């Protein structure tokens, strides 16, 4: 009796479910190996992105409001001092703006655009990995399905076993197992991809707002100096 039939017909006992689950995974065949590796990679990427995209590490609370107050009061050195020891996307954006503050507005805007694109690229790091897992895992499951069906039809042709379903039940079970495993990895990967992408877009919009605020304050400072 194959692993799939065993799982469906066995009443779980203490430790029994894990045993039949292991048999089910093994029954999926060699294609379960890359699917299992994809699941491990998925967990690693999810933990890394969840930690890296913490708001407190990207946009420290109160930093921009304090710097903005300093700039509005003309305390440029105080503003520079607030971000000199900070290492966050927000601090790097402000630092880039302060490096050209009070100078040519075109150079300031170009610098902030360049920094913004670089920070956006850094925030999106590893997202292609999640997207790749979401795309490849179901294909691996589909390949397992095709392989299992080929084996079942080959068994039927070789053994004339159309009246004996037990002979080709195992390859069909393998086909179903790999399909389910591939989807079980792909669906969480896709959900995480869109979740992180949405979070990144929100963060990038906030950084853009800060950049526009610096440009506006710079323009006000230049006009006040000219007056």
Cα–Cα distance measured from residue 61 to residue 209, given in angstroms and rounded to the nearest whole number: 15
Answer yes or no: is pLDDT of 47 > 90.
Answer: yes
Mean pLDDT score across all residues of the chain: 82
Residue 6 lies in a domain: no
Average pLDDT, stretch 203-224? 87
Average pLDDT, stretch 12-39? 67
Average pLDDT, stretch 134-150? 88
| pLDDT value of position 151 | 75
Q: In the chain, how many domains are there?
A: 1
| pLDDT tens-place string over residues 161-191 | 555 666 666 667 777 888 888 999 999 999 9
Residue 95 lies in a domain: yes
| pLDDT tens-place string over residues 85-119 | 888 999 999 999 998 888 778 888 999 999 999 99
Answer yes or no: is pLDDT of 3 > 50.
Answer: no
Exposure string of 177-213, with b = 16+ CB inside 10 Å and e = fewer, is bbbbbbeebbebbbebbeebeebbeebbebbeebbeb
Residue 9 lies in a domain: no
Residue 4 lies in a domain: no
Cα–Cα distance measured from residue 187 to residue 138, given in angstroms and rounded to the nearest whole number: 9
Residue 157 lies in a domain: yes
Answer yes or no: is pLDDT of 130 > 90.
Answer: yes
Average pLDDT, stretch 44-66? 93
Residue 18 lies in a domain: no
Please report which confidence band the pLDDT of residue 145 belongs to, taking 50, 70 and 90 as the band edges: confident
| pLDDT value of position 15 | 44
Residue 61 lies in a domain: yes
Residue 12 lies in a domain: no
Name the residue range of residue 211's domain: 31-227
């Amino acid at each position: 009796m194959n692993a799939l039939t065993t799982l469906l017909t066995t009443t779980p006992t203490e430790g029994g479910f894990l045993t039949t689950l292991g048999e089910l995974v093994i029954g999926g065949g060699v294609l379960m190996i890359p699917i299992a590796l994809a699941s491990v990679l998925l967990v690693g990427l999810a933990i890394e992105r969840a930690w890296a995209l913490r708001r407190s590490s990207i946009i420290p609370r109160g930093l921009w409001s304090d710097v903005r107050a300093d700039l509005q009061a003309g305390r440029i050195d105080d503003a520079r001092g607030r971000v000199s020891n900070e290492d966050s996307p927000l601090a790097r954006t402000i630092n880039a703006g302060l490096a050209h503050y009070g100078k040519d507005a075109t150079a300031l805007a170009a610098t902030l655009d360049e920094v913004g694109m670089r920070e956006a690229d850094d925030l999106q790091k590893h997202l292609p990995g999640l997207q790749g897992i979401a795309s490849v895992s179901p294909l691996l499951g589909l390949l397992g399905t095709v392989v299992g069906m080929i084996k079942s039809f080959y068994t039927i042709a070789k053994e004339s076993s159309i009246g004996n379903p037990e002979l080709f039940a195992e390859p069909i079970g393998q086909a179903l197992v790999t399909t389910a495993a591939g989807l079980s990895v792909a669906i969480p990967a896709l959900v995480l991809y869109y979740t992180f992408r949405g979070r990144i877009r929100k963060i990038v919009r906030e950084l853009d707002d800060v950049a526009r605020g610096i440009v506006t304050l710079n323009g006000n400072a230049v006009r006040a100096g000219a007056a």
